[in-house]
């Protein structure tokens, strides 16, 4: 049974003191996650070790970077390699967030290399896809997302994609307070699973966790997560408030 995942993306927010208090508050609440539930914290690079150490002894909570280099190692000033991340206990990496695609010109070719680097190092990519508003308005959002999946992931084999994590984040719903309706989310998630199934077969497609991202809050998580093909969320703003993110975790399918 595929994992149901509540993933936080703190983005470029919080001081270390704030990050520590947020984590303390989050883990202070006793919580029994089921075997199919996972929590992932997408933490800024400088705080990864501190937050990782705070999580020791808590089950089912993993630590993620928000980006990584597409290069293995060497003279690439300012870059962070997957080997570095793996060596400090990071388990996941958010790849291809729309903010990286838009502000840092990351394209599918580069992202497919980043995915490769993660897999070669034993890290789990959280591969993001999703269309801008103009694309949805023109009615071509399914084709757009399909191309992102084809160019970003279709070089992988079925084993590499078994248990994989994809996050669908419609750009028009990110940080705007404008959530996709649960119907819109379900339809796109079902489409993503169909695309993966056509290429890799239904067993692989059914094993992939497809998370929804874009203004997920405590108040809409239950409705979104109840959809058949929505396997949790990738949460920005609401993940910066412990009570909100806790409530979001509580709404994962059991």
Q: Which residues are designated catalytic? A: 97, 169
For the bound state, the minimum distance from the C-beta of residue 176 to ligand 13P, rounded and expressed in Å, comes to 7
For the bound state, the minimum distance from the C-beta of residue 213 to ligand 13P, rounded and expressed in Å, comes to 4
Can you read off the two tokens belonging to residue 176?
């705007």
Percentage helix, strand, coil, to 5, in the chain?
A: 45, 15, 35
| Residue 216 contacts residue 245 (beta carbons within 8 Å) | no
For the bound state, the minimum distance from the C-beta of residue 167 to ligand 13P, rounded and expressed in Å, comes to 7
DSSP 3-state of 164: coil
Residue nearest to ligand 13P (CB): 236
Q: What are the C-alpha distances in Å from 188 to residues 24, 60, 144? A: 35, 27, 11
Task: Considering the complex, state which of residue 125 and residue 213 has its C-beta at the smaller distance from ligand 13P.
Answer: 213
Task: Considering the complex, state which of residue 2 and residue 97 has its C-beta at the smaller distance from ligand 13P.
Answer: 97
For the bound state, the minimum distance from the C-beta of residue 177 to ligand 13P, rounded and expressed in Å, comes to 8
Task: Considering the complex, state which of residue 235 and residue 249 has its C-beta at the smaller distance from ligand 13P.
Answer: 235
Task: Considering the complex, state which of residue 129 and residue 174 has its C-beta at the smaller distance from ligand 13P.
Answer: 174
Task: Considering the complex, state which of residue 97 and residue 200 has its C-beta at the smaller distance from ligand 13P.
Answer: 97
Can you read off the two tokens belonging to residue 91?
């388990």
| Residue 66 contacts residue 46 (beta carbons within 8 Å) | no
DSSP 3-state of 110: helix
d(CA 244, CA 9): 13
How many CB atoms sit inside 10 A of residue 132's CB?
Answer: 15
Binding site for ligand 13P (CB under 6 A): 9, 97, 169, 174-175, 213-216, 234-238
Pinpoint the alpha helices (H) of 76-120. 82-87, 98-103, 108-120
How many CB atoms sit inside 10 A of residue 122's CB?
Answer: 10
For the bound state, the minimum distance from the C-beta of residue 92 to ligand 13P, rounded and expressed in Å, comes to 13
Can you read off the two tokens belonging to residue 147?
């191309």
């Amino acid at each position: 049974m595929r994992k149901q995942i509540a993933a936080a993306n703190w983005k470029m927010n919080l001081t270390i003191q704030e990050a520590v208090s947020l984590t303390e508050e989050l883990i202070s609440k006793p919580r029994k996650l089921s075997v199919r539930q996972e929590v992932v914290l997408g933490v800024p690079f400088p705080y990864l070790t501190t937050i990782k150490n705070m999580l020791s002894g808590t089950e089912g909570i993993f630590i993620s970077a928000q980006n990584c280099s597409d290069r293995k190692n060497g003279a690439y000033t300012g870059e962070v390699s997957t080997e570095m991340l793996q060596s400090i206990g990071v388990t996941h990496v958010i790849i291809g967030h729309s903010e990286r695609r838009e502000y840092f010109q990351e394209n599918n070719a580069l992202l497919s290399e980043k995915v490769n680097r993660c897999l070669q190092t034993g890290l789990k990519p959280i591969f993001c896809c999703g269309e801008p508003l103009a694309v949805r308005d023109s009615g071509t959002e399914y084709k757009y997302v399909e191309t992102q999946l084809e160019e970003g992931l279709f070089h992988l084999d079925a084993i590499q994609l078994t248990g994989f994590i994809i996050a669908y984040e419609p750009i028009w719903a990110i940080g705007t307070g404008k959530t996709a309706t649960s119907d819109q989310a379900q339809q796109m998630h079902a489409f993503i699973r169909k695309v993966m199934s056509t290429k890799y077969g239904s067993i692989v497609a059914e094993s992939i966790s497809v998370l929804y991202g874009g203004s997920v809050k405590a108040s809409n998580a239950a409705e979104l997560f109840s959809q058949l093909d929505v396997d949790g969320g990738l949460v920005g703003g609401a993940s910066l408030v412990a009570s909100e993110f806790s409530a979001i975790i509580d709404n994962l399918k059991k």
